[in-house]
Amino acid sequence: MRIVKRLLLLLAFAALCQAPVACRALLKEVFETPKVRLVNVGFASNPFTAHKGPIEAVLHLQVTNPNSYGVTVSGVRYAATIGTVMLAEGERNEETRIGPSGETMVNVPVTLRSEAFSAALRQVMEARTIPYEFCGSVGVVAPVVGTVRIPFSKTGTIDPIDILRRKGFGFN
């Protein structure tokens, strides 16, 4: 009798240990990770006139849900760097619902430090071109496992002469 009890207890424990593994395998079959793409960074305030106060920007993220059911974005973590200057980093916890098999734009307000923006602008003017990176992750609430973090990143270079050329100012 005592051996049977131990055997049943061992089997129950083994079954409990296997359940999360089985659930994760099932989740991979049922849940496809949404895609996140940084589409644009816009300014809500003019960065050239906000000398003393913070500069308001907006990250425009496109979240694509490939699943046949809706998911919820629970929050966004972000960081912005130009050259060697960290302009902003933080987290915004605001829920957004993404419909089934659909795309939704998630706009994340970001406050840039004006002194860091000025330092980055000086680097741009001195170097002619300078690298930038906007990166972070989006928290998506998934069935069974909870929140899944999905990274995003956009990198490139800033060339002020090229930007002015595209705006119609002539430089040779």
Burial 75-99 (b: 16+ CB within 10 A, else e): bbbbbbbbbebebbeeeeeeebebe
pLDDT, residue 127, reads 78
- 55 pLDDT band, cuts 50/70/90, is confident
> Is the pLDDT assigned to residue 155 strictly greater than 50?
yes
What are the tens digits of pLDDT across the range 71-96? 899 999 999 898 888 988 999 998 98
- For the chain, the average pLDDT equals 78
Q: Which helix (H) or strand (E) holds 28?
A: helix 2-30
Domain-wise residue ranges, the chain:
1-30, 31-166
pLDDT, residue 50, reads 56
Share of the chain above pLDDT 70, in %: 76
Q: Hey, what are 156's tokens?
A: 């490139």
Share of the chain above pLDDT 90, in %: 15
pLDDT, residue 7, reads 44
> Is the pLDDT assigned to residue 65 strictly greater than 70?
yes
Q: Between 3.40.50.1820, 3.30.110.30, 2.40.420.20, 2.60.40.1820, what CATH number should domain 31-166 receive?
A: 2.60.40.1820
Closest CA to 63 of 155, 141, 143: 141
Report, as an integer, the average pLDDT of 53-60. 83
Report, as an integer, the average pLDDT of 132-156. 87
- 48 pLDDT band, cuts 50/70/90, is low
